[in-house]
């Protein structure tokens, strides 16, 4: 489909951001009626091959990302003068605005944001093998449900076993190994996450100095001064995050076991756990919605486009509809203290062997104990289980405190065994 037909899918409403070579517009995706962000990049910006490659890398990475805590890119297209990027629209502020407004965040609020930041980083590192390289308060948006949305992959890159060597990022958040021009890896993002947590709970950046050489000197050699107002547990975690030797710096699995990180209040907001839903799978509801606009939709081609991170109008509609469904689930959990069982598909296409169960304000891990016929996604099951018919696609056959047996619309049976394990999402 040519540029004119693709741009016709969008009704531009207003300009919401402008730069030297790019403008961002709030627009409506006509087929779905959903609001999106449309970024228009002037090709005059690509005066050097390096800038063109940087933008192509950003697009390539953003099209692969599929996580509810990271802003989605739906599609991209171009004409002779501009490149257009169609992205998820996030209505809210960014982390820098919040820190500037409140100066210091309560540890409970900072913990929630930090948990989400780590979950997003974990996805980038371990699912996509990507180093973000520009984690900072300005690149953390907060949506209307007060959940984070990580943005800006302009400096990101795929990281192989040899690591990275390019000096980049925002100086105040840059890890010592980058400042020293050493090879670095995913652990550089952990340092930046530590800077973010410090800023949220202290109200200032630990190594900031108006003189750049002095700031870089502090990053390499000086330990930060921790405010007396923070808890002992938080201080211990910050010290591990801001360990100058990357090989001794705390890792993501170790963060998940950290006492400050796993502490949570008596009443867990289900909306805070809902973002562990990676994405909704291809299902008849979403597909039928897309078919209302594309009656000749080829499902095999759609699956192929999704798997290969291609940019097509049909896939853009599917992505928009799927993300809208996820957001509806999260909104429902915020506005309703759910008393019904709900089963939510866990992954877009992959065969996931784990699912998450929210039960008695604790999070437990499910593992498949027996599978008669395979189901191509994991499940999230929320208690209390008061109805046998869970939703359109699943029915509970038997419920037991140790096992739950369910069947899907095709009659395929799955037995899930409960293996208690406290975890926080």
Distance separating alpha carbons of residues 387 and 402, to the nearest angstrom: 18
Among 192, 219, 198, which residue's Cα sits nearest to residue 208? 219
Let me know: does 87 contact 73? Beta carbons within 8 Å. Answer: yes
Known binder of ligand: residue 403?
A: no
Longest dimension (CA), the chain: 67
**φ, ψ at 283 (rounded to 5°):** -145, 170
For this structure, is 370 an active site residue? Answer: no
Q: Dihedral through CA 218, CA 222, CA 227, CA 232, nearest 10? A: 130
Distance separating alpha carbons of residues 314 and 32, to the nearest angstrom: 11
Q: What share of the chain is helix, strand, coil (3-state, %, to 5)?
A: 35, 25, 40
Distance separating alpha carbons of residues 417 and 415, to the nearest angstrom: 7
Of 9, 66, 134, 189, the catalytic one is 134
* Residues in CB range of 279: below 8 A, 6 or more apart: 66, 67, 68, 322, 323, 326, 347, 348
Distance separating alpha carbons of residues 131 and 153, to the nearest angstrom: 9
DSSP for 186-200, written as a single string: THHHHHHHHHHHHHH
Any idea which residues carry the catalytic annotation?
A: 134
**Which residues define the annotated binding site?**
39
**Which residues define the annotated binding site for ATP?**
39
């Amino acid at each position: 489909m040519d540029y004119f037909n693709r741009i016709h899918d969008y009704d531009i409403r207003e300009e919401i951001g402008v730069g030297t070579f790019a403008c961002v517009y709030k627009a409506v995706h006509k087929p779905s009626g959903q609001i999106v962000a449309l970024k228009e990049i002037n090709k005059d910006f690509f005066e050097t091959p390096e800038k063109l490659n940087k933008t192509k890398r950003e697009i390539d990475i953003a099209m692969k990302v599929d996580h509810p805590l990271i802003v989605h890119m739906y599609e991209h297209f171009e004409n002779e003068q501009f490149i257009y990027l169609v992205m998820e629209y996030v209505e809210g502020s960014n982390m820098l605005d919040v820190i500037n407004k409140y100066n210091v965040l309560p540890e409970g609020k900072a913990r929630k944001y930090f948990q989400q930041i780590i979950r997003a980083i974990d996805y980038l590192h371990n699912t996509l093998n990507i180093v973000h390289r520009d984690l900072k308060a300005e690149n953390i948006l907060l949506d209307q449900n007060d959940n984070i949305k990580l943005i800006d992959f302009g400096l990101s890159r795929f990281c192989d076993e040899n690591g990275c060597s390019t000096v980049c990022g925002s100086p105040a958040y840059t890890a010592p190994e980058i400042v020293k021009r050493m090879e670095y890896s995913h652990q550089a993002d952990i340092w930046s996450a530590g800077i973010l947590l410090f800023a949220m709970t202290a109200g200032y950046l630990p190594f900031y100095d108006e003189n750049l050489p002095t700031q870089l000197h502090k990053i390499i050699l000086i330990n930060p001064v921790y405010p007396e107002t923070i808890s002992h547990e938080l201080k211990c975690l910050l010290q591990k995050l801001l360990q100058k030797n990357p090989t001794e710096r705390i890792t993501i699995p170790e963060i998940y076991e950290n006492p400050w990180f796993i502490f949570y209040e008596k009443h867990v907001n289900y909306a805070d756990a809902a973002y562990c839903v990676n994405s909704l799978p291809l299902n008849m509801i979403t597909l039928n919605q897309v078919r209302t606009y594309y009656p000749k939709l080829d499902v095999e081609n759609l699956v192929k486009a999704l798997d290969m991170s291609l940019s097509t109008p049909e896939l853009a509609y599917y992505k928009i509809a799927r993300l809208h469904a996820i957001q509806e689930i999260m909104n429902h959990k915020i506005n309703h203290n759910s008393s019904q069982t709900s089963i939510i598909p866990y992954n877009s296409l992959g065969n996931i062997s784990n699912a998450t169960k929210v039960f008695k304000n604790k999070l437990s891990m499910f593992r498949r104990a027996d599978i008669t016929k395979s189901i191509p996604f994991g499940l999230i099951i929320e208690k209390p289980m008061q109805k046998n018919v869970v939703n359109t696609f699943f029915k509970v056959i038997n419920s037991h405190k140790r096992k739950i047996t369910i069947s899907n619309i095709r009659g395929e049976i799955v037995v899930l065994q409960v293996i208690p394990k406290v975890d926080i999402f």
